[in-house]
Structure 1
Amino acid sequence: MERILNAIDEAKEKLDGIQAKLEGNPEPDTPGFERIGSRYFFIEHEDRKSWTGAEIACRQKGGYLAAFQNQEEFDGIKEKLQIAVYWLGINQKIKEGDFVSVASGKPATFLNWMLDEPFNYDDIKEDCVLLVLGQMSTRQCDLGFHFICQLDNKV
């Protein structure tokens, strides 16, 4: 646990440095992040992690698990996807039905649910949000999937 906390602290320091650079430089020098719409994202196509593992990996890269601002940004991300399932930085861990962005700590502003979602299958807690074939769905947070990071904490 201490190792995880240290990794999160290191990632926070890195993020603070990146955000300081962003204020004076519109093109950040952050490996793997690319501009999609008005923001920067990293799409992990190779590695699979639990939702918490994906959040830690994004923090180590200097960002957060991603949440989207609008349909245009969502469509821009979908064009870049190679695999069917990616974790997003939205969850309802604190209160059922209240979907919150991990980056901002605020309610998620854009949700594009699959038909009949959000839904807990057979009373299994599905608190974490992911993209499945280009639409949002909920799943158990301990499952391993690819993930998308955002560089800022706006959404």
Structure 2
Amino acid sequence: MLRCSYFLWVFTVCRLWGSQAQFQPIMTQSILDHIASHQHQWFTYTAQVQGETQAKIDRMKAELAGQLNALQVKTDSQHKSLQDTVKARKTQKTKVFEKIGSRYFYIEKQERLNWFQAFNKCRRLGGYLATFNDLEELQAVSGKVSPGAYWLDATSLAKKGVFLSTRTGERPPFFRWADKRPTKNENECVNMYMGKMWSPNCWDEYLFICQSDQ
């Protein structure tokens, strides 16, 4: 009886082992199929995300290219406008300023201003009050003026009795004082009369001479 029970137990175990051996390939295949399905879903999702990201990048590139193009067009337009303005100013200065000797001068023949107003008027014309490099240049300009006194670029406003150019902050390269030497009074500015230089009060009103470096 004991032997019979033993054989029955062995038979049962063998059958169970056989069933498990048959079922194991099915389980393994199921797990592999499940992994493969998840991998496919993951790759599909990754490709979709990459596609959306690339589309966003492409849109950003297109927008940036459009902005850069618009900026370039605006810059080119501003550059052309600036060139036109500079050209117009040069043309205007060429019409206003006259070449006398080696430099350009403007001689005001009608409007009388004080020295400060004359200074500002020359700046608006694109130049500054004139100085002379030497006697030859002074005489050349003097030959072009009408009778009268003309403001020049020299003043003792910074220091009494010391006449300096407002453009350079230094003494002008040439003076030709009249017999009446400059005094040490306040508010003295230099003008030219009859080819010689005087130092009247800066608030007096005279004609003026401008020069330009064009």
TM-score norm. by structure 1 comes to 0.75
Give the match's secondary structure for 2:111: strand
For 1:83 and 1:32, the matched residues in 2 are separated by 20
**Equivalent position of 1:90 in the other structure:** 154
**Equivalent position of 1:11 in the other structure:** none
> 1:108-137, CA deviations, whole angstroms, 9 ceiling, x for partnerless residues?
1100000131125xxx52510001222100
Give the match's secondary structure for 1:46: coil
Partner AA of 2:147 in structure 1: I
Q: Which runs of 5+ in 1 are unaligned?
A: 1-16, 22-26
For 1:113 and 1:137, the matched residues in 2 are separated by 6
Residue correspondence of structure 1 range 100-139 to structure 2 within 5 A: 100-119=164-183, 124-139=185-200
Question: Following TM superposition, where does structure 1 have runs of at least 4 consecutive aligned residues deviating by more than 4 angstroms?
Answer: none
CA contact (8 A) 1:64 1:152 kept: no
Pair member with larger Rg:
2
Name the % identity: 37
Q: Which runs of 5+ in 2 are unaligned?
A: 1-85
Pair 1:79-2:143 in alignment: yes
Match of 2:126 among 42, 50, 62: 62
> 1:74-108, CA deviations, whole angstroms, 9 ceiling, x for partnerless residues?
01011001022000011111012221112222211
Q: Counting helix residues as a fraction of each chain, which structure ranks higher?
A: 2
CA contact (8 A) 2:148 2:193 kept: yes
CA contact (8 A) 1:119 1:126 kept: no
Q: RMSD across aligned C-alpha pairs, in angstroms?
A: 2.2
Give the match's secondary structure for 2:192: strand
Give aligned pairs, total: 128
Partner AA of 1:88 in structure 2: L
Pair 1:147-2:211 in alignment: no
- The higher relative CO (CA closer than 8 Å, separation ≥ 6) is in 1
Partner AA of 2:146 in structure 1: Q
**Equivalent position of 2:95 in the other structure:** 31
